[in-house]
Structure 1
Amino acid sequence: MANTPSAKKAARKIERRTAINKARRSRVRTQLRKVEEAIASGDKAAATDALKAAQPELMRAVTKGVYHRNTASRKISRLSSRIKVLGA
């Protein structure tokens, strides 16, 4: 347990940031799930729209430090390549 005032304040800050990051991560996962569902249904237009909505959310998570830049880029790249296969 935190004893000093600064440690108590740090614990409060960590708790707040954890809640914010958890919500942000959840929002990103929801967007990614929508893309996955659109790909699974075989609807290229819906999948493209869902990816366009998911991209800014992923990149926002990167700037906020929730995801690493390469992780987000990898996810976007893999999803877009799967969407490209739908049209073929």
Structure 2
Amino acid sequence: MEEHHGPFCQSCGMPLRTPADPGTEMDGSPSHDYCTYCYQKGAFTDPAITMEEMAAFCAKTMADMDIMPLDKAKTMMDAFLPTLKRWRA
């Protein structure tokens, strides 16, 4: 997987590379912290999802996109997600 240095979603870890990637705040402005899949109109699109469910979903997505094998993606997401703003205690 290519290393990415720059803003990324503080919920799922997706790189925020293009103007379409960020979610939106309540006033419609782009979010600086979250992607369009996780955050719209100032709220999480799935407020009930757990960190473990997010890790499983992201790992499957990465495997389906042939970014890395599922087991490696799951291990990486399990370690990475707890460092993100949404999941920090």
Higher share of residues assigned helix: 1
Q: Does the TM-score normalized on the shorter chain lie above 0.5?
A: no
Under a length normalisation based on structure 2, what TM-score does the superposition of the two structures give? 0.30
Structure with larger Rg? 1
Under a length normalisation based on structure 1, what TM-score does the superposition of the two structures give? 0.31
